[in-house]
Amino acid sequence: MKSINLYRVIILGILVAGFSSISKSQTCSNYYPLTNGSTWTMTNYNDKGKVDGTSVNVVTNAVTSADGTVATVKSTSKDKKDTVLGTTNTAIKCAAGKVSIEMKSFIPTQSSSQWKNMDIKSDGSWLEIPQTLTVGMTLPEATGTMTIYNNGAVFSTMKITFSNRTVASKETVTTTAGTFECFKITQDVKMETTMMGMTIPMNSKTAEYFATNTGLVKSETFNKNSKLLGYSELTSITKK
């Protein structure tokens, strides 16, 4: 469960940054809060509704040009005792009517301290979220891969794929941060870890609730049998 929670924390820290850039303007130069210093916190809960940790996210290195906006989002994940689990820096692109998030950042390298003396290479496509969403819309699949090398030889690989991405509905969601009109995006998530010739898959499903001008308001994670594993909610946001 710890690995699932950490994985969920990383995803939330990234997705909130991506969708939060949608605003009333149709140009990325006015998107926000992809502006330096914008900060938001997601609080994570287990399947019983008890606090399981937080993810604090801040926008850094945001640069806007005629082509759009490129920014870095620093996400710091903490457990329920406020102990830091790890920090992720994620590249976000906003251009051509969509937000793109680098898939390699979804690989949970923070949980791999045992690989600190090994070489790690990450790559992958970009996870895209259109500026305009409508119920019934299907979104592109995306994949990210991390390869770990020991003395030049492949030691392990991790691959994560987001598929069957659909805008399922539009719903009202209330958290301690307020009440929001949200689009619900559902998707299948598959993570495969290969080591010593053996591949171990981990399949899950997520439901993410996004509000215009706010970003990710709530996220639910389910196992392959649709049993709730945990959820996260937006508990604070400061826009610059």
Residue 47: which CATH number? 2.40.360.20
The average confidence (pLDDT) of the chain is 80
Q: State the average pLDDT over residues 52-66.
A: 87
| Full domain range(s) for residue 206 | 2-238
Tell me how far apart the 2 most distant CA atoms of the chain are, in Å.
53
Identify the three-state secondary structure at position 226: coil
Tokens 């130069």 correspond to: 29
Asked if 73 contacts 13 with a C-beta cutoff of 8 angstroms, the reply is yes
pLDDT tens digits, 213-235? 787 899 999 998 999 999 999 99
Report the domain count for the chain: 1
Of 125, 165, 166, 164, the residue nearest 143 (C-alpha): 125
* pLDDT score for 108: 59
Residue 107: pLDDT over 90: no
Q: State the average pLDDT over residues 13-23.
A: 42
Q: What percent of the chain has pLDDT over 90?
A: 36
* pLDDT score for 51: 94
Q: What is the number of residues in the chain?
A: 240
* Least confident range of 31-40, 129-138, 200-209: 31-40
Amino acid identity of residue 2, one-letter, is K
Asked if 4 contacts 203 with a C-beta cutoff of 8 angstroms, the reply is no
Pick 200 or 108 by higher pLDDT: 200
* pLDDT score for 219: 92
* Separation CA 183–CA 13 (nearest Å): 18
